Structure 1
Amino acid sequence: MTDDRHVARSLTPLHGEGLRLCAWDADSDTEAADYLRGLLDPEFVRWNTPLTPIEDLDGARASLLRKAEEAAKGTGASYRITDESDGTTLGHIGVDGIDHVFRRARVGYWVLPEARGRGVATRALRLASHWAHTELALHRLELGHALGHEASCAIAEKCGFRYEGTLRGAMFEAARHDTFRAAHLHARLATDPE
């Protein structure tokens, strides 16, 4: 088995637009706490329902180690969004479910409350999308969000992720695994204009 911590550290950092995207370090108390804080944020909880609830630092570390395993397998890349000048954690962006045969993946992101309203998610999505299309040679990136999440819809459209439709019953309701809600599907192709 691969040493997950080594893989996480070897994830290619991405720079631009005042941001640095780098691997999360599950051994860092500060980073694990930032990750947990993002997942427990009421706005995150309102729009997302993780399959495995994460409620404490141990759960956050376990989640980060699973993400490092996905990076080792080439099926995912989870980045900590930081301020390029001072390294402050601003949020998270992931390229998940990477399918190298069909050259597609899903993208998702969240931003800590104190970093909202500054274009962080938009800038991070542009960086991660460019990386996925060029370095990973992925053709299609999909982005889904709960119906009604207007901020996420606007970010997707600013970054060239075209709205493709509404998927009925495609996501769990907030904080539930027994009820479903509709989601918007957006996608960006490598051949779409910048």
Structure 2
Amino acid sequence: MPYLVPPHIPPGRLADSAQPALAVADDLLLRPWRRADAPAVVAAFADPAIQHWHLRRADTEDEARDWIKQWQDAWNSETGAHWAVVRPERAGDGREEVLGRVSLRSLVPTTGMAECSYWVLPAARGRGVAPRAVSSLARWALDEIGFERLELAHSVLNQRSCRVAAKSGFALEGTRRRSLLHADGWHDMHLHARLRGEDANG
């Protein structure tokens, strides 16, 4: 049975090339995850705040490496795209620092839709890391790849994520009632979205 409309994003648009690194600013870079990043993933999911808003945790570096492998494979299957948010090495510094994660998940290339998610390690909070990283990812996905709609959902109790969504140009569209089960029970979820061609500043 043929489709009446062609795929919004043709198959292979992502997988036919290597996952790129995306520059955010002089002090931030989005780059593909590496196996060596496993300690940073374990540290992130040991943080009570990150655990509170997520459904899983990584207790060992082996588990974290399994996650990283899944994130890497998602690019090739065009089901997800995951980046580490890092502070690049600087002259005389000699080290790169992992600050967090941003991703596109629930990718539906045929309809041009995806969902943004993110977390930031405790030491990097309060520096605008999340909104800058999410904004850069959204610009790349909408303007360069051609996604039509990106969504961002968070618990209505997570006011920090609500501010990140607003600063990243994701308009609040409504509330999905009892939409996600967390460890402490069911949460209503705010739904934000950013559309291709839409002014990120409103």
Q: Confirm or deny a common fold (TM above 0.5).
A: yes
Matching residue within 189, 195, 198 for 1:192: 198
Deviation of 1:16 after TM superposition, in Å, equals 2.4
Task: Please say if 1:23 is aligned against 2:29.
Answer: no
Match of 1:120 in 2: 129
AA aligned opposite 2:138: S
AA aligned opposite 2:154: H
| Count of residue pairs the alignment pairs up | 179
User: Is contact 2:41-2:58 (8 Å) kept?
Assistant: no
Task: Please say if 1:106 is aligned against 2:115.
Answer: yes
CA distance in 2, matches of 1:168, 1:103: 25
Match of 2:45 in 1: 39
Deviation of 1:85 after TM superposition, in Å, equals 4.5
Match of 2:104 in 1: 95
User: Is contact 1:144-1:184 (8 Å) kept?
Assistant: yes
CA distance in 2, matches of 1:136, 1:110: 23
Match of 2:74 in 1: 70
Match of 2:87 in 1: 83
Task: Please say if 1:58 is aligned against 2:69.
Answer: no
Match of 1:3 in 2: none
Task: Please say if 1:11 is aligned against 2:11.
Answer: no
Matching residue within 157, 170, 181 for 1:161: 170
Query: Is there any run of 5+ residues in structure 1 with no aligned partner, and where?
Result: 1-6
Match of 1:131 in 2: 140
Question: Over aligned residues, Cα RMSD in angstroms?
Answer: 1.6
CA distance in 2, matches of 1:38, 1:172: 21
CA distance in 1, matches of 2:141, 2:64: 25
SS at match of 2:84: strand
CA distance in 2, matches of 1:39, 1:137: 32
Deviation of 1:146 after TM superposition, in Å, equals 0.9
AA aligned opposite 1:76: G
AA aligned opposite 1:84: P
Query: Once the two structures are aligned, what percentage of the paired residues are identical?
Result: 31
User: Is contact 1:15-1:84 (8 Å) kept?
Assistant: no
Deviation of 1:102 after TM superposition, in Å, equals 0.9
Q: State the TM-score, normalized to the length of structure 1.
A: 0.87
Q: State the TM-score, normalized to the length of structure 2.
A: 0.84
CA distance in 2, matches of 1:135, 1:12: 12
CA distance in 2, matches of 1:169, 1:58: 33
Deviation of 1:124 after TM superposition, in Å, equals 0.3
CA distance in 2, matches of 1:118, 1:92: 15
Q: Which structure dedicates a bigger proportion of its chain to helix?
A: 1
Residues 19-70 of structure 1, C-alpha deviation per residue, up to 9 Å, x if partnerless? 11001112x1xx10001211221111111213xx422111111111111111
Deviation of 1:135 after TM superposition, in Å, equals 2.5
Matching residue within 148, 151, 170 for 2:157: 148
